[in-house]
Amino acid sequence: MSRRILTIVPLLFAGACIDPNGDEDGDGLTNAEEQELGTDWKIADSDGDGYSDGEEIGYGLDPLDPTSGPYEGGWPRQTLAMKDEIENGRKSGSEIDVGKRFPRVRMVDQFGEVVDLYDFVGHGKKVVIDIAAEWCGPCNGLAAWLDGDDVYDLPKDARKAVANGDVYWLTVLGENNDGDAASKKTSKDWHKAYPNPNIPVLADEDADTVQYVLSVTNGWPSVVMVNDSMTVVEFAGGVGADFMQLVADEYTGGGGDE
């Protein structure tokens, strides 16, 4: 036991003896861990980006780099541990099916940031993955409808659920107007046309995710609902009222009537 005390002695903080196992700033990292990392043991958020040092380590971010903090779009983050647990817990299979795990993918969003699909797990929300192409009329129609334009007769609570944050709606673009693979520019242009602040617009540059869904649904757009551990709940080709009713059912109220 006395041997252990000896190892503590070299840990001097600003000339004072501080308990290396303590967490002075309550950020989830011990004082000793903070000294090791070079983060400030008296300030919870060393780089001032809104995420504490402990959160950043959990998310796999750099606690000393304010640009590796929250997504510019404000999308949620999830810990690496939970994302890995869900990814490794179950096989996803080669094509989409109800009850299977939707594969973990990383795609670039409308702000040019690489977004991990699994940052949306574990927040108690259903996630809708909307597979779209820039050239596709009904895909554009659905985006317009979500933005409040009544181009389709669909349950309006569905878009209220998206606006209210009751579901996470993600648009995944597979192709641009020329029918080529979507890029960062395609996402940016789509967001400019449909500037919905709640919807990440992700470019599926290698078309893996699009193929995973469209090989079964055979049509643009296709929509997939997964639960908060990425298990497929329902999926459909086209813009159907039945699917949108499932989204509407997630609406918790608030925000008033349209």
Chain residues binding Ca ion by CB under 5 A are 23, 25, 27, 29, 39, 45, 47, 49, 51, 53
Name the residue nearer to Ca ion (CB basis): 57 or 247: 57
Supply 154's token pair. 């669909």
Within the chain, how many helices (H) and strands (E) appear?
9, 9
Listed residue (128, 26, 122) closest to 77, CA to CA: 122
Q: How far is the CB of 26 from Ca ion (least distance, A)?
A: 7
Listed residue (197, 226, 241, 195) closest to 131, CA to CA: 226
State the residue number with the nearest CB to Ca ion.
53
Q: How far is the CB of 121 from Ca ion (least distance, A)?
A: 22
Name the residue nearer to Ca ion (CB basis): 23 or 234: 23
Supply 99's token pair. 């009850």
CA 98 to chain CA mean position, Å? 21
Name the residue nearer to Ca ion (CB basis): 67 or 252: 67
Q: How far is the CB of 46 from Ca ion (least distance, A)?
A: 5
Q: How far is the CB of 16 from Ca ion (least distance, A)?
A: 15
Name the residue nearer to Ca ion (CB basis): 36 or 97: 36
Task: Give the residue ranges of DSSP H helices in 131-240.
Answer: 137-146, 157-163, 184-193, 208-217
